Amino acid sequence: MAIINSCNCKLAPGQNGKSKHTYCPTESHFTDKQSFQEGYEGIGKPRNRNGIESFEEVPMSVALLTYMGWGIVILIGYVKEFLLSFVPSQNPERNREGYAPLYSSFESFYTRNVYRPIRDCWNRPICSVPGAELVLKDRVTHDNGWTFSFTNTFTKCLNMGSYNYLGFAECEGPCATAAQKTTHSLGLGVCSPRQELGTLAIHKELETLVTRFVGAEDAITFGMGFATNALNLPSLVSKGCLVISDENNHASLILGLRLSGATIRVFKHNNMKSLEAKLREAVVQGQPRTYRPWRKILIVVEGVYSMEGSIVNLPEIIALKKKYKAYLYLDEAHSIGALGPRGRGAVDYFGCDPKDVDVLMGTFTKSFGSAGGYIAGSKKLINHLRIHSHAHCYATSMSPPVAQQIISSMRIIMGEDGTDEGQRRLVQLSRNSRYFRQKLRQLGLIVYGNDDSPVVPVLLFMPAKIAATSRELIKRGVASVSVGFPATRITESRSRFCISASHTKEMLDKAIEAMDEVGDLLRLKYSRLPIPVGPVIFGEDNKPQQDQVD
């Protein structure tokens, strides 16, 4: 029986097995009566989104062993380099006298001694469509990761690493056919920026469709997802502005904010008390030394965090944004198409009004199986970006077949193709995500994030287990992504699984069985939370039992 409090909000396991109050639908910002864009009439009503979101703390003993492991790896590296200093280099650099080093000494040391010996676990070449399954091109190294040679053999694996959330990365079907026809009629490239001769009718069609899809007044699209953040944020904030950024925001957001020249302050991940404290201080104190008010305050968050698997607490952030008269920038790169009953991101997931988010950003590289990104919002905002955005003024326009892939897949999601294929994929992704995550929890693995998130991180901790997990999963026919420092905190190395609507239950069971074997082999089952009881039934909303909640 689920635990219910006075406001009917379920308690979800949080840090260290303790419970926390999650996404309460009785907050005042759910009850405001507002007008909505066409297709959004039902949005804004209380929507009970209580997926379990767990961030179990690192056990102290494991944290100490992890620090020791990193210390040993670095110590061995220094000893090895000290001994090699007495041996003449086989590949000495020539004509470099007087040049400054390209890398800092420790960065170069880390690359040589930590990353390169296990480089076979990354940058793996594939020779197939990255669908539910993929084919890896096998390779070997004979010089400790400096170079690789192909073996002319191939390994077919279950693809648990690509962001192909809705399974639109296909070489056949309506999307591929439409993209092929567009290639024949419009070619592959435009060879000009949008502001010059690079705007085609298909670009206008795409922007109109995106505007309807996200429920905004207008939208602008770009040819690269990373650049959508990195090159547009400097057009929105500058010196004298304050940005309050989530500590786990993506590198593209961080780069864009640094380029802007704005003052950046960081709040704890998805922590509303930390965010409100930063907002209150900014409003009361103003700018340093002068105490003048900030020109503008911008809150920057993501819909789904790609390393944590967590979902932004959007209703409460909107409430704080309104309370302190700030602006809100929402990066929906991993949530657009993957969250919500209609696949329209975190805004749809929580039933919020799209107008409450000042800047709606997203990419087409995940759920739509294509490339590029968009920003949607008010007409005034989009007109400003059309003039001042470096990505719009200087970058080459989006390739026509890439734009057609987005249009075709988006229309399928919206049901405008006359079928229910889009809804089927959305339901399948939701079922797959919940089933896979809950089965991993039953194995005793520490799994981060929200049940409704298609990103499923499993904590590994020890540096030696990063490569070992990746290699052992490949042996069992499962391709995933292992991640460690500096991409994560030094004590939070992880293996990240990305769920797709194209995965079947049998495929997920294969990955779960492989992770069970690897977990026993490498001793990855660190969780101290009570093991969930009862069977996890595929396709059902499995609720936690009484003894699952502390």
Q: How far apart are CA 514 and CA 58, in angstroms?
A: 24
**In which band, very low, low, confident or very high, does the pLDDT at 5 lie, cut at 50, 70 and 90?**
very low
Q: Is residue 327 part of a domain?
A: yes
What is the torsion angle, in degrees rounded to the nearest 10, for the CA atoms of residue 284, residue 289, residue 294 and residue 299? -80
Q: Are residues 238 and 347 in the same domain?
A: yes
Domain closes at, from 387, 414, 441: 414
Domain closes at, from 414, 429, 445: 414
Q: Are residues 465 and 482 in the same domain?
A: yes
Q: How far apart are CA 371 and CA 449, in angstroms?
A: 26
Contact call for residues 296 and 236 (beta carbons, < 8 A): no
Alpha carbon 343 to its chain centroid, in Å, reads 16
Question: For the segment 244-254, what is each residue's pLDDT rounded down to a tens digit?
Answer: 999 999 999 99
Query: Number of folded domains in the chain?
Result: 2
What CATH number is given to the structural domain containing 496? 3.90.1150.10
Contact call for residues 51 and 311 (beta carbons, < 8 A): yes
Q: Is residue 39 part of a domain?
A: no
Question: Which pLDDT belongs to residue 542?
Answer: 58
Q: Are residues 189 and 144 in the same domain?
A: no
Which two three-digit tokens encode residue 10? 């379920």
pLDDT at residue 410 greater than cutoff 70 = yes
Contact call for residues 496 and 481 (beta carbons, < 8 A): yes
What type of residue sits at position 430? S
Question: Which pLDDT belongs to residue 547?
Answer: 42
Q: Tokens 């920038």 identify what position?
A: 329
pLDDT at residue 225 greater than cutoff 80 = yes
Residue range of the domain that includes 514: 122-159+421-533
**In which band, very low, low, confident or very high, does the pLDDT at 20 lie, cut at 50, 70 and 90?**
very low
Measured between alpha carbons, how far is residue 53 from residues 20, 44, 45, 347, 447 in Å? Answer: 9, 22, 22, 18, 9
Question: Which pLDDT belongs to residue 202?
Answer: 95
Question: For the segment 477-498, what is each residue's pLDDT rounded down to a tens digit?
Answer: 999 999 998 888 988 999 999 9
Q: How far apart are CA 253 and CA 245, in angstroms?
A: 9
Domain closes at, from 385, 414, 443: 414
Q: Is residue 46 part of a domain?
A: no
Q: Is residue 463 part of a domain?
A: yes
DSSP string, 210-259: HHHHHT-SEEEEES-HHHHHHTTHHHH--TT-EEEEETT--HHHHHHHHH
pLDDT at residue 123 greater than cutoff 80 = yes
pLDDT at residue 41 greater than cutoff 70 = no
With pLDDT > 70 as the criterion, what percentage of the chain qualifies? 87
Q: Are residues 406 and 270 in the same domain?
A: yes
Which two three-digit tokens encode residue 334? 């991993």
Q: Is residue 242 part of a domain?
A: yes
- How open is the CA angle 524-528-533, to the nearest 5 degrees? 100
Q: Are residues 404 and 464 in the same domain?
A: no
